[in-house]
Amino acid sequence: MSAAVSSAIASAESLPRRVAAADILALVKPRILLMTLVTATGGMSLAPGGLSLVTLAVLLAGTALIVGAANTLNMYLEREVDCLMVRTKDRPLPAGRLEPRVALGFGVGLAFLAVPLLTFGLGPAGPITGLCAVIAFVSYVMVYTPMKQRSHIATWIGAIPGAMPALMGWTAVSGRVDAAGLAVFSVLFVWQIPHFHAITLYRLRDYQRAGLATLPGARGESATRVEIVMYALVQLAVSLTLYPLGVCGPIYLVIAAVTGLAYAGYAASGLFRGDARWARRLFLASIVYLPLVYGAMVVDGRL
């Protein structure tokens, strides 16, 4: 591991410092990384048990490291595919601004730091939180990333690491995986299915050009719209389970019901004649929906 990291540092030093720093930072996908830190903090705040600044600091540092490692190695493995897509061709590796071995060494180094920190830095809750981190890392890098070119089922695999930071926050405080923690995890897990399907509908040609498997490419746009509506309704149902499980109160219940019905209603409006414009709007609606629901969850859960 040290040799790989040393090699990465040496390679980075041979590049212009501003370009190298910016491009290495881009490898961790900062916006996605920030979102995972927010969801991890939310999961921690909702979990039963006392909050500790030390636990929060270790959780955020470990989550940032493991997510940064997964994102970096994802970029390393997909560097040739990224060359073929409009939205990814300017990333550091396909654009040729960084050598692949820099990304490989950087990603491996982050992972080797993350797992021990989470496993041994959170006291009795560390082993279960570290295991969650390993599951997220392996499912994203070793399963989801190569599977994207073979089957649209990869969407489901990719949703696991996307939702795992919330469960890591929960386990860091509670030290266990229980029904309430899994309900919080499920809200984020299910949300990703219609969200991603909407992207594939309005960017289908881009995905096809890159050779990535998608539901509309495999089963057609009509089947994709049906699945979007179905999982928008599942999203509504899952979000409401937090109330009877005692995670959140009536304020959250009202917000989750209203926003969930609105989201599912807009998804249903495109069931028979949804076009690329509808899919893009649904994608944007999903980006608005999640912060509203998750924010209400966290605020009401702490009242």
What is the residue extent of each domain of the chain? 1-174, 178-303
Q: How far is CA 265 from CA 250, 262, 290, 295, in A?
A: 22, 5, 15, 21
Q: Is 15 exposed, middle or buried (0-12, 13-18, 19+ CB in 10 A)?
A: middle
Sequence-ordered alpha helix ranges (H) in the chain: 2-13, 17-27, 30-46, 53-77, 79-82, 100-120, 126-138, 145-147, 154-174, 179-202, 204-209, 215-219, 221-240, 250-269, 276-302
Percent of the chain with pLDDT over 70: 93
CB neighbours (10 Å) of residue 60? 18
Q: Is the pLDDT of residue 250 over 70?
A: yes
Can you tell me the distance from the alpha carbon of 169 to that of 65, in angstroms, rounded to the nearest whole number?
A: 14
Biggest CA-to-CA distance, the chain: 57
Q: Is the pLDDT of residue 18 over 70?
A: no
pLDDT of 303: 66
Output the six-digit token pair for 236: 């509504």
Report pLDDT digits (tens) over 180-217.
999 999 999 999 999 999 999 999 888 888 888 999 99
Per-residue pLDDT band for 167 (boundaries 50, 70, 90) equals very high
What is the CATH number that goes with domain 1-174? Answer: 1.10.357.140
Can you tell me the distance from the alpha carbon of 278 to that of 283, in angstroms, rounded to the nearest whole number?
A: 9
pLDDT of 81: 85
More confident: 196 or 14: 196
Fold of 178-303: Four Helix Bundle (Hemerythrin (Met), subunit A) (1.20.120)
Single-letter code of the amino acid located at 246: G
Per-residue pLDDT band for 27 (boundaries 50, 70, 90) equals very high
Output the six-digit token pair for 131: 């295991």
pLDDT of 205: 87
